[in-house]
């Protein structure tokens, strides 16, 4: 006997699919089909009563149906012996309800639908139904509404089915509402669905409703599981693990996992990996609705604050593992929970890798983003410091772009509550995040100077030290090393005072580079050896990689390209090991310039290509400009590629570096003015606009 079980949340189309399948298979079961609604999502039908219904469907007179449930089952099996019958048992409650209804005879088959996961039937094939694909959802919408209305605004149609979570019931209701309102455009209903608090109300028509479909499953939960359903919806993300659930519910992780698995079994939560659970978008909205209407609503802010503090504590521990000699952890807001302590640096990186979305979304939630959000003034500093600690770990990666939105929320919150400390830290984050369009050093300089002003008001030693260091770096990058040097020295003194040995050594490496750029070569080279020795003693590969990079740049500026290359190669290896892509790419770009200084254009081109390959995911205009400048010069020196290609690289590099305000742009300006024109192509008359790439480049300056 074949048994198949279709499971999935309410409204996903289990019954419709089962009915369609039964219709298509009627030829394979010539002795007929039997159907019974087991009412599993409401008041489950008694198996004995269902057997009576099935026996009557098989032609047994009412008076011939045995009174004993066991005898009814025996009669049912005997009647099906030797026959080929398909039995459709719709909306089953659990295994106990189903067992008496299975004939157990060869030839027949049973197709079962259930919101709950039916796992106790030997030999049964379990099929989990998911939401429709976008293509299928649009096809359903078009079939009901009409192709012309959908084609008139395909973007709105895609947004509509997305707002419906591509759930068949929701799409069907939305389509029915549109069909009944010929004066509505698809965009009109899409706009109405945009408000999450009203969305479930909009998805009701002709006695059908998404809320009602979910409520049947919810009402079947025991009190403990129902509480878990409500409070886990308070998480800022739809996908989470048992640790997040445990923190929100304020219970141990094993109990949290049991509750989550019970929700999976009830069809209200999806298991999407090892220790990963996901709310369907509409189910999450429903869960938040029932949370609002329950006594647990008063507990939601405390649950969300527990999660915020848990993440802040864990990020702080991760910083200690990954930046062991930084003073940052001691300057973050103290968390009220112990958090998770990664065993080592590798464990910290693994935790961080799977927690980025949760960190960002939780901070945004605390800062007031979203219809159910905003934990108030008391959550401002923990949220800002969660972002500050996270930023410390991701600024060398492509994820640093993700800081832009929450950083601006943090600044707005700081201004709203008059919190100078939070404003200072938020401005540091804004300065660190690449902006859309031409991102300039002057913009960063303004943000950091403003951060320092707020830090002085607070006072905030973290911003006073870090923003002074970062401002000095920006000034040096603009060719203003004389202004940068006292700020570097100020930052160094502050880090020493705070006990951040790693941070202090990093700043000293910048001091070495600034002195070299100011012409104090002897003093710079003497200090370089001492700084490098201190960095090696710390045993922190991130700090060592940073120090090696700065000293390598100083040596290159001082006319020592061989020694510079040795430092930069080692720097690149350390940055690669810790996963800091930005500094790895910068090291490759500087190595390209070392190779040029040693008249090795082939090596320079290869290094520049490596830098550009890594930078492609980062969006770092300075790094790209630096690498393109080296590539263009290398191609010109090689003479193998068309001069037009080389000069195109130089022109792009000049545009990027000059727009940013980098000092390196000045050298390119001179180079582009003196570069030889590209050879004239056959058939192009002298003096034409295409005569040479150099002419075009100069015209662009």
CA distance 368 to 166: 28
pLDDT for the residue 675: 60
Token couple for 531: 């700084």
Note the pLDDT of residue 642. Answer: 65
Q: Is the pLDDT of residue 5 over 50?
A: yes
Is the domain of 336 the same as that of 479?
A: yes
Amino acid 308: pLDDT: 96
List phi, psi (to 5°) of 75. -65, -40
Query: Does 144 lie in the same domain as 121?
Result: no
**Tell me, what's the pLDDT at 693?**
35
Is the pLDDT at 700 greater than 60? The verdict is no
**Tokens 């008496």 found at:** 100
Instruction: Answer whether residue 689 shows pLDDT above 60.
Output: no
Q: Is the dihedral of CA 271, 275, 281, 285 positive or negative?
A: positive
Residue 438 has a pLDDT of 54
Alpha carbons 629 and 17: distance in angstroms, whole number: 61
Both 182 and 122 in one domain: the answer is no
Average pLDDT over residues 563-591: 95
Grade residue 685 by pLDDT with cuts at 50, 70 and 90: very low
Task: Report the percentage of the chain scoring pLDDT > 90.
Answer: 77
Instruction: Provide Rg for the chain, Cα atoms.
Output: 33
Tokens 């890594």 belong to which residue? 614
Spatial CA neighbour of 625 closest among 592, 581, 598: 592
Token pair for 489:
């020295």
Residues sharing a CB contact under 8 Å with residue 199, sequence separation 6 or more, in sequence order: 163, 193, 282, 285
132's tokens: 């429709």
Q: Are residues 12 and 112 in the same domain?
A: yes
Quick one: what percent of the chain has pLDDT higher than 70?
94
At 79-91, the pLDDT tens digits run 999 899 999 999 9
Average pLDDT rounded to a whole number, residues 339-350? 94
Other beta carbons within 10 Å of 208: 15
- How far apart (Å, rounded) are the C-alpha atoms in residues 342 and 189? 47
Alpha helices (H) along 418-460:
420-432, 441-457
d(CA 696, CA 677): 9
Best CA proximity match to 311, nearest among 379, 399, 256: 379
The 3-state secondary structure of 264-286, one letter per residue: HHCCCCEECCCCCEECCHHHHHH
| pTM to 2 decimal places | 0.84
* Contact in structure between 694 and 677 (CB atoms under 8 Å): yes
DSSP state of 99: G
452 and 393, same structural domain?
A: yes
Q: Determine, yes or no, domain membership for 671.
A: yes
DSSP secondary structure string for all residues of 248-259: HHTS-HHHHHHH
Task: Give the whole-angstrom CA distance, residue 632 versus residue 642.
Answer: 11
pLDDT of residue 686: 39
Average pLDDT, the chain: 90
Q: Determine the Cα–Cα distance for residues 1 and 332; give it in Å rounded to an integer.
A: 64
Answer whether residue 683 is part of any domain.
no
* Residues 166 and 37 occupy one common structural domain: no
CATH of the domain at 76: 3.40.50.300
In this prediction, residue 680 carries a pLDDT of 46
Tokens of 694: 């150099």
Domain for residue 588, yes or no? no
Alpha-carbon distance of 197 to 184, in angstroms, equals: 21
Confidence class of residue 697 from pLDDT cuts 50, 70 and 90?
Answer: very low
Distances (CA, A) of 646 to 153, 587, 642, 689: 45, 22, 7, 18
Do residues 318 and 457 both lie within one domain? Answer: yes
Same domain, 241 and 257: yes
Residue 397: burial class (beta carbons within 10 Å; 0-12, 13-18, 19+): middle
Residue 692: the pLDDT is: 38
Provide the domain count of the chain: 5
d(C-alpha 578, C-alpha 324), whole Å? 13
Per residue in 322-340, pLDDT tens?
A: 998 899 999 999 999 999 9
**Mean pLDDT, to the nearest integer, of 659-674?**
84
| Residue 140 · residue 132 · CB < 8 Å | yes
Q: Is 557 domain-assigned?
A: no
Three-class SS state of 655: helix
Relative to beta strand 109-114, strand 2-7 is parallel
Give 501-542 pLDDT, tens digit per residue.
999 999 999 999 999 999 999 999 999 999 999 999 999 999
Q: Are residues 366 and 225 in the same domain?
A: no
- On whether both 317 and 269 belong to a single domain, the answer is no
What number of CA atoms fall less than 13 Å from residue 608's CA on the CB side? 27
Phi and psi at residue 87, in whole multiples of 5°?
A: -110, 120
Distance, CA of 386 to CA of 360 (rounded, Å): 9
What per-residue confidence (pLDDT) applies to 403?
Answer: 92
- Is 481 within a domain? yes
Q: CA-to-CA distance for 461 and 438, rounded, in angstroms?
A: 31
How far is residue 433 from each of residues 474, 491, 618, measured CA to CA in Å?
14, 21, 11
Is 140 found in the same domain as 116?
no
CA dihedral 470, 476, 480, 482 (to 10 degrees): 90
Q: Is the pLDDT of residue 691 over 60?
A: no
Phi, psi of 238 (to 5 degrees): -80, -15
Least confident of 375-384, 440-449, 673-682: 673-682
- Stretch 396-419: mean pLDDT: 91
Q: Are residues 336 and 434 in the same domain?
A: yes
Distance, in Å, from the CA atom of 667 to the CA atom of 629, rounded to the nearest integer, reads 10
Tens digits of per-residue pLDDT, 144-171? 999 999 999 999 999 999 999 999 999 9
Residue with tokens 């089915």: 161
Q: Examine residue 499 and state whether it is found in any structural domain, yes or no.
A: no
Pick the more confident residue, 443 or 674: 443
Per the listing, tokens 């209701």 go with 173
Q: Which of 206, 230, 246 is the last residue of a domain?
A: 206
Mean pLDDT lowest for which of 134-143, 273-282, 339-348, 613-622? 613-622
Q: Which domain holds residue 110?
A: 2-128
Would you state the torsion angle of the CA atoms of residues 365, 370, 372, 378, taken in this order, to the nearest 10 degrees?
40
Q: Are 217 and 12 spatial neighbours (Cβ–Cβ below 8 Å)?
A: no
Cβ(451)–Cβ(420) below 8 Å? no
User: For position 457, what pLDDT does the model report?
Assistant: 95
Residue 222 lies in a domain: yes
Does residue 519 lie within any of the structural domains?
no
pLDDT of residue 633: 93
pLDDT confidence of residue 1: 78
Angle at 445 (CA atoms; ends 443, 446), nearest 5 degrees = 65
* Interatomic CA distance for residues 361 and 1, integer angstroms: 49
User: Two tokens at 19?
Assistant: 């009915």
Give the total residue count for the chain. Answer: 701
DSSP state of 371: T
Structure tokens at 368: 């007031």
Domain ends where: 486, 520, 545?
486
Question: Among the three residues 108, 128, 148, which one is the final residue of a domain in this structure?
Answer: 128
Burial of 212 (0-12, 13-18, 19+ CB in 10 A): middle
User: What is residue 45's DSSP assignment?
Assistant: P
């Amino acid at each position: 006997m074949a048994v198949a079980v279709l499971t999935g949340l309410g409204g996903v189309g289990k019954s419709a699919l089962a009915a369609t399948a039964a219709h298509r298979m009627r030829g394979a079961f010539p002795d007929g089909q039997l159907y019974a609604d087991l009412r599993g999502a409401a008041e489950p039908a008694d198996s004995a009563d269902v057997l009576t219904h099935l026996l009557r469907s098989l032609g047994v007179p009412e008076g011939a149906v045995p009174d004993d449930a066991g005898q009814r089952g025996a009669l049912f099996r005997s009647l099906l012996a030797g026959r080929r019958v398909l039995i459709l048992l719709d909306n089953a409650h659990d295994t106990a309800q189903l067992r008496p209804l299975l004939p157990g005879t060869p030839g027949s088959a049973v197709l079962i639908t259930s919101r709950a996961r039916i796992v106790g039937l030997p030999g049964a094939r379990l099929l989990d139904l998911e939401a429709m694909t976008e293509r299928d959802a649009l096809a359903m919408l078009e079939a009901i509404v009409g192709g012309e209305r959908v084609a008139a605004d395909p973007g709105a149609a895609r947004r509509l089915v997305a707002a419906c979570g591509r759930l068949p019931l929701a799409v069907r209701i939305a389509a029915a509402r549109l069909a009944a309102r010929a004066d509505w455009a698809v965009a009109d209903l899409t706009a109405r669905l945009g408000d999450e608090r009203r969305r479930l109300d909009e998805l009701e028509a002709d006695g059908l409703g998404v809320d009602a479909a979910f409520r049947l499953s919810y009402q079947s939960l025991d009190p403990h599981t129902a509480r878990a359903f409500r409070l886990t919806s308070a998480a800022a993300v739809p996908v989470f693990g048992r640790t997040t659930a445990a923190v929100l519910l304020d219970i141990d992780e094993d109990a949290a996992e049991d509750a989550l698995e019970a929700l999976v079994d009830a069809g209200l939560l999806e298991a999407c990996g090892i220790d990963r659970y996901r709310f369907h978008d509409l189910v999450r909205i429903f869960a938040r609705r029932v949370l609002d209407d329950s006594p647990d609503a008063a507990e939601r802010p405390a649950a969300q604050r527990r999660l915020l503090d848990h993440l802040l504590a864990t990020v702080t521990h991760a910083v200690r593992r990954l930046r062991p000699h930084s003073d940052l952890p001691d300057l973050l807001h103290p968390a009220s929970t112990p958090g998770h302590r990664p065993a080592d640096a590798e464990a910290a990186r693994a935790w961080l890798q799977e927690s980025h979305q949760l960190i960002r979304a939780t901070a945004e939630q605390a800062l007031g983003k979203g219809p159910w959000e905003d934990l108030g003034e008391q959550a401002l500093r923990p949220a800002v410091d969660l972002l500050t600690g996270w930023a410390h770990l991701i600024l060398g990666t492509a994820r640093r772009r993700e800081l832009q939105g929450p950083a601006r929320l943090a600044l707005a919150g700081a201004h709203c509550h008059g919190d100078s400390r939070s404003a200072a830290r938020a401005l540091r984050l804004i300065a660190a995040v690449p902006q859309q369009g031409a991102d300039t050093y002057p913009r960063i300089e303004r943000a950091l100077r403003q951060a320092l002003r707020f830090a002085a008001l607070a006072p905030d030693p973290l911003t006073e030290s870090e923003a002074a260091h970062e401002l000095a770096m920006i000034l040096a990058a603009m060719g203003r090393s004389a202004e940068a040097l006292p700020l570097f020295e100020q930052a160094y003194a502050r880090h020493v005072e705070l006990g951040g040995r790693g941070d202090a050594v990093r700043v000293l490496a910048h001091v070495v580079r600034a002195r070299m750029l100011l012409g104090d070569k002897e003093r710079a080279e003497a200090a370089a050896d001492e700084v490098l020795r201190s960095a090696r003693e710390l045993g922190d590969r991130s700090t060592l990689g940073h120090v090696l990079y700065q000293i390598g740049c100083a040596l290159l500026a001082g006319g020592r390209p061989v020694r510079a290359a040795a430092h930069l190669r080692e720097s690149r290896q350390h940055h690669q090991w810790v996963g800091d892509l930005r500094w790895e790419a910068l090291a490759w770009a500087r190595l390209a310039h070392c190779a040029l200084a040693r008249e090795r254009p082939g090596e320079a081109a290869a290094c520049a290509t490596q830098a550009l390959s890594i930078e492609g995911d980062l969006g770092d205009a300075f790094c790209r400009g630096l690498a393109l400048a080296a590539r263009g010069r290398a191609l010109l020196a090689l003479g193998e590629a068309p001069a037009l290609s080389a000069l195109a690289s130089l022109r792009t590099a000049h545009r990027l570096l000059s727009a940013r305000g980098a000092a390196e742009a000045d050298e390119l300006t001179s180079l582009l003015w003196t570069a030889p024109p590209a050879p004239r192509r056959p058939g192009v008359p002298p003096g034409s606009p295409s005569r040479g790439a150099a002419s075009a480049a100069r015209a662009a300056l």
